[in-house]
Chains A and B, each alone.
Chain A
């Protein structure tokens, strides 16, 4: 039976929950770091709402701290977030029929973490009548916890000891999402090439290594498929 909008929404929230475990400590650390970089509480919190992208926020705060020229900071933020174009392209066939408002809303909520669960859903089920509510649920769950954990970081400081390694739940979640998606040889080779390339390109700045690795691996995957 077709799921209703609210079923899809809560299903998205639920699937996002394990990811939040890794994201919340990250948001707190951002809050602390932003203050130490010289932002005031309002600016630190606003950045989580306006930019809403973990690594770009870390980098922006860091660069503001070191007095980097504004233009350089803006270009850096842009480059760090370029990988979202890949997510946008990958989701586009599924969001095609939505109206402009939905497209804008979902794009605003399009982070690594929301993408990971949403694309898994779309690839497994295709775009059903209310799958965009799933996307919205996953995205909103992440957005809410990012805002709250930023606030907690700003007002309480670090309370979760780093040695717990809760951040490690993030790659573990991604593993659990990727492995079941490896259904044929082309997919497995793509994953292997991407992993290897990511280690080789790790030194590249601004997450460009991530984009380079993905592009190399996607090309190899396509080529494998053609054979």
Chain B
């Protein structure tokens, strides 16, 4: 019973967070600086998700040529810059990732 209650409350809270500004913004006028800041949200959030995925291992910084995720991430960045294609970026990144893991015997 308690588990259901926990899930339901977290579900309601999560939904409210997701709905928050989508509903708020139609009612109140937000400061202009706030609206300009929104342009940077996806760049900032996605970069903050990506960096630790590439450069951390077991909660430690892992900046090394022996880090397949880091090198594959750099390769994917270059491919994304050139092609602007999600599919090519993933293919290049995974190819380097698997190739390096093979070479490094991981």
Contacts and interface: CB of A to CB of B under 8 A. Distances in A.
Given A74-B9, A191-B44, A53 B94 contact: no
B94 A178 contact: no
Given A18-B87, A50-B8, A176-B76, A195 B50 contact: yes
A43 B13 CA distance: 18
A194 interface: yes
Interface in B4-24: 4-11, 13-15, 17-24
Interface string B11-50: 1011101111111111000000111111111111111111
A131 B38 CA distance: 19
Contacts of B79: 176
A138 interface: no
A198 B24 contact: no
B23 to A, nearest CB: 6
B104 interface: no
14 contacts: A18-B90, A70-B2, A77-B14, A84-B14, A91-B21, A92-B21, A103-B19, A104-B19, A119-B41, A168-B93, A169-B90, A172-B93, A177-B86, A199-B61
Interface residues of B, number: 69
Majority-rule SS of A interface residues: helix
B45 A93 contact: no
Given A56-B10, A90-B41, A172-B94, A177 B46 contact: yes
Contacts of B101: 165
Contact of A82 (B5, B17, B43): B17
Given A50-B10, A73-B6, A89-B25, 12 more contacts: A52-B14, A60-B10, A74-B6, A88-B18, A89-B20, A89-B41, A90-B41, A93-B25, A107-B15, A194-B45, A197-B48, A209-B48
A87 B18 contact: yes
Given A175-B76, A176-B76, A199-B52, A50 B7 contact: yes
Given A119-B42, A202-B56, A171 B13 contact: no
Given A103-B23, A165-B97, A210-B48, A178 B56 contact: no
A160 to B, nearest CB: 14
Contacts of B88: 176
